[in-house]
Amino acid sequence: MPVKRIAGKTADTRFIWHAYKQDPDTLSAQLTTVLKASTMLPEEGKYERIPFFSQRVTGNPHFFDQNRFEGRLFVHCLFTSQLLKGLIEEMPKTTEELNELYANAGLMRDDLWSFVTCRAFLAETENGLHPVWREAAAAGTVMNVPVKELLQLTNIWPRVGKKVWIIENSGVASAVLDEVPDAPVICTHGQFRTAAWIMLQRLAENGCTFYYSGDLDPEGVAMAERLSNRFPGQTVFWRMDPDAYLRVLSEEDISARLSKLDAVQSPKLLLVANEMRLKKKAGYQEGLADLLVEDLKKRWAGGKEI
């Protein structure tokens, strides 16, 4: 936990200063435990349920529960660490954001509710080719796969080729799936969940290229930037340019959310980010559905990658 941030008395550190005024010795012990925990996180690519992690580190499975001060302190420690790495922009405010914070550290709150939707992929376990994934790919079945199942897999790859098409919006993804049978498509249903990151990591290890399409608003652009940062050289921004943005421009004012674009560094995303700063309006993926279908049909004909 960077000392400078606490010393700066930022808004997110007020609860720490309050604890210091109440009982500095107790806070010192709590900080020591939290810092110890930050050095004992799961190895990269591995995941551990938070109660089991807490038991391993402290001997108490509830030590880092959200209703405890130590839990809040631990979240702040993860936040400051990930802020420095560019993995996160602000303290989590929603359950999904908190889940992502934990997932970035290899920790899980819920391995059933976090799932990713996909079609036309194959997977292996230590026992070989997974029969459910094999049959689903052969039948063109769309699957909702939770973290619990993904963690049993040792390998995931597209049924054909190395291109993976990632769509943020579930309605748009469903329309694309209807029009382009057998194409390897992933739907994230908004912000990336733990399940999506696990699947994408397995695919990245197989040298896949990710074509990502999201809403043309600050949140969607930030998601694209996050994906590119995590998988540099393997991410292509799909219809996330100024022309696409102007095509789907809405009347929704995003002036209060434009600060989320400050972290964008990718030259291609900066083009659309700068246009957003000028227009101060959101653009939505639904207006691009026909173009996404057209793009995919050009690269995916008769079940073969072009």
> Tens-of-pLDDT digits for all 306 residues of the chain?
455 677 677 888 888 898 889 998 999 999 999 999 999 999 877 888 899 999 999 999 999 998 899 999 999 999 988 887 777 777 888 877 888 788 888 898 766 667 999 999 999 999 999 999 999 999 999 999 998 899 889 999 999 999 999 999 999 999 999 999 889 999 999 888 888 999 999 999 999 999 999 999 999 999 999 999 999 999 999 999 999 999 999 999 999 999 989 989 999 999 999 999 999 999 999 999 999 999 998 887 655 666
Tell which of 78, 108, 138 closes a domain: 108
State whether 132 and 90 are in the same domain: no
| Domain extent for 171 | 115-305
Q: Which of 97, 197, 98 is nearest to 147 (CA)?
A: 197
Q: Which residue has the tokens 């190395």?
A: 162
Give the pLDDT score at 190: 84
Tell which of 108, 123, 155 closes a domain: 108
DSSP letter for each residue of 245-290: HHHTEEEEE-GGGGGGGGG---HHHHHHHHHHHHH-EEE-GGGGHH
Would the pTM of this model clear 0.75, i.e. be above it?
yes
Domain count, the chain: 2
Give the pLDDT score at 144: 95
